[in-house]
Every structure is written in C-alpha cells, then in structure tokens.
Amino acid sequence: MHIHQQPNAEKVLSLLNQSGLPVTGLQENSFEDFFGCGEKNNPAGIVGVELHEGFGLLRSLVVAKESRGKGCGKSLLETAERYAQSKGLKSLYVLTDTASGFFARMGYLEVALVKVPDIIRNCPEFIHLCSDNAVAMRKDVQVGHFISIYP
C-alpha cells in the first residue's frame, strides 16, 4: 500500500465531499499534514492530522468505497499515528459518527467530551461540525507506544 504525504488538495476535497465529510476549516496549507493512499494525484483514501500544542486531532479519515477492505484505512491511520508521534504529540483525538468500531479495533478509547483537552475541544470540528451522535475517542501516541518512527 503506497502512502504519501500531502495528497492533491483538489482530490482530497472531492473525496471528502463525495463521502459527506466536512471541509470547513480546511485551507490549502491544511494538507501539509494529510496523507493519502494510492496515487498521489488521485488518492483512494486520506487522513489528516491537526497539530495542537501536544495533542492532535484526526481529520477526515476516509477511503473510497471501491478501495475499502484492502488495508488503506489501517495503513493511513498507522501512518498518521507515527507522524503524530514524530511531532511529539501525547495523544490523538478523533470525533466520529460512524467509525467508532474501527477506531476501537485500532486501540482508540471512547472519552467523554468534557475530558477532551480544551485546545482540541475548541477546534472548529468540535464546535461546529460534530453531530449530537458523535463519539470522541483518544489514543496515546507518545514515545514508547510505537516501535517505528515516521521517516
């Protein structure tokens, strides 16, 4: 599975729109901390990491329907976790309406919204973009939790 950093912004936005995921708050420079799987100019899946003073927020993990079940989502998430670790983050947070089972299988634990650090809770995704059904989850990624480091 080929994973690459900073996939084509136009294709990222197209994939997010097709999947019904929010694009609010994403700007051209937002994609520096995004990863894609497959072709760089036409990614089959993407994930982003927002960096916030020791914590990270996963943004927009999505895999195109025709590419699901092939390990793209898992590879993207593992890459995002190694990247977060390489940036010195303590924990990664994700807010999800539909994928809590996937994240739980990947080691994320459900956390009450009031337990999410203010720096993450004040992100636009938490304030404006989450539904009432959204579940917050966390995984610690500090050094010592992984063997490999993002190159």
150: in domain = no
Burial of 101 (0-12, 13-18, 19+ CB in 10 A): exposed
70: in domain = yes
148: in domain = no
CATH number of the structural domain spanning residue 36: 3.40.630.30
pLDDT class for 142, splitting at 50, 70, 90?
A: confident
Please say if the pLDDT value at position 39 is more than 50: yes
User: In the numeric block, which tokens belong to residue 5?
Assistant: 């950093």
55: in domain = yes
54-81 per-position pLDDT tens digit:
999 998 899 988 888 899 999 999 999 9
User: In the numeric block, which tokens belong to residue 84?
Assistant: 């977060």
Burial of 58 (0-12, 13-18, 19+ CB in 10 A): buried
58: in domain = yes
Residue 37 makes CB contacts below 8 A (sequence gap 6+) with 1, 2, 3, 4, 43, 44, 45, 46, 63, 67, 72, 75, 76
- What number is the average pLDDT over the span 35-43? 90
What residue numbers bound the domain in which 115 lies?
Answer: 3-140
User: In the numeric block, which tokens belong to residue 135?
Assistant: 């579940």
- What 3-state DSSP class applies to 151? coil
Residues paired with residue 63 on neighbouring β-strands, in sequence order: 45
146: in domain = no
Closest CA to 1 of 58, 60, 78: 78
68: in domain = yes
Q: Report the number of distinct structural domains present in the chain.
A: 1
12: in domain = yes
Total-model pTM? 0.87
114-141 per-position pLDDT tens digit:
899 999 988 877 776 566 778 999 999 9
Burial of 106 (0-12, 13-18, 19+ CB in 10 A): middle
